Amino acid sequence: MTTLLALFVSFFRIGLFGFGGGYAILSLIQYEVEAHAWMTPQEFTDIVAISQMTPGPIGINAATYVGYTAAGLPGSCVATFAIILPSLIIMLVISRLYIRLSERFADNPYYRNTMTVLRFTVLGLIAAAALLLITPANFIDAYSWLLFAAVFLLTLLPALTKNKSDVVSFLTHPITLIVLAGCAGYLIYG
């Protein structure tokens, strides 16, 4: 029971102060895990690898795994719930505020300028996320770049050819492309 409570407090704190998502949260989890001696550093390294190799947000993956290792199934439920609880509260307030503001202050220059500037700033954030992922670990050889170029062009295909048929939109759906890239990876490296 004390372990469950400790898990809840730790992961609530991680969710509350985990600004920046993903990898920023992993370092917070590492700190808490080492402070409570829930697992060895070696086990934690495994978590990072597993979180990256399974679908879903990295923070959720890591929380579930640590919770399970520390206190079994109840532990994983508590840790996962605790890490999303702060998001739930804060994002709910922000969403409500956003919806209300967008109705009431549609003509307010402060509101409009902020939203316009954010819209463009976010494009930079997305570009930076893509640039930061171009690492030797992700791009190991020429095949990686070939796959990158193929997926890039396929994603742009509907816009370039002005073709909006069902076949094209199925082929260029992100899920289809991820599955195809996984198959290609298995054929090339497997």
Query: Interface residues for other proteins in 12-51 (CB under 8 A)?
Result: 15-22, 25, 46, 49-51
- 5 contacts other proteins (rule: CB under 8 A): no
- 3 contacts other proteins (rule: CB under 8 A): no
- 145 contacts other proteins (rule: CB under 8 A): yes
Q: Find the binder of other proteins among 119, 162, 166, 167 (CB under 8 A).
A: 119
Contacting other proteins within 83-102 (CB under 8 A): 83-84, 86-88, 90-92, 94-96, 98-99
- 170 contacts other proteins (rule: CB under 8 A): no
Question: What is the Cα–Cα distance from 14 to 83, expressed in whole angstroms?
Answer: 6
- 142 contacts other proteins (rule: CB under 8 A): no
Of 20 and 37, the one with the shorter C-beta distance to other proteins is 20
Residue type, 66: V
Question: What is the Cα–Cα distance from 144 to 167, expressed in whole angstroms?
Answer: 26
Q: Select from 58, 51, 50, 60 the least CA-distant residue to 11.
A: 60
Question: What is the Cα–Cα distance from 180 to 186, expressed in whole angstroms?
Answer: 10
Residue 6: CA count within 13 A, CB half-sphere:
13
Which one of the spans 2-10, 32-40, 127-135 is the region binding other proteins (CB under 8 A)?
Answer: 127-135
Residue 7: CA count within 13 A, CB half-sphere:
27
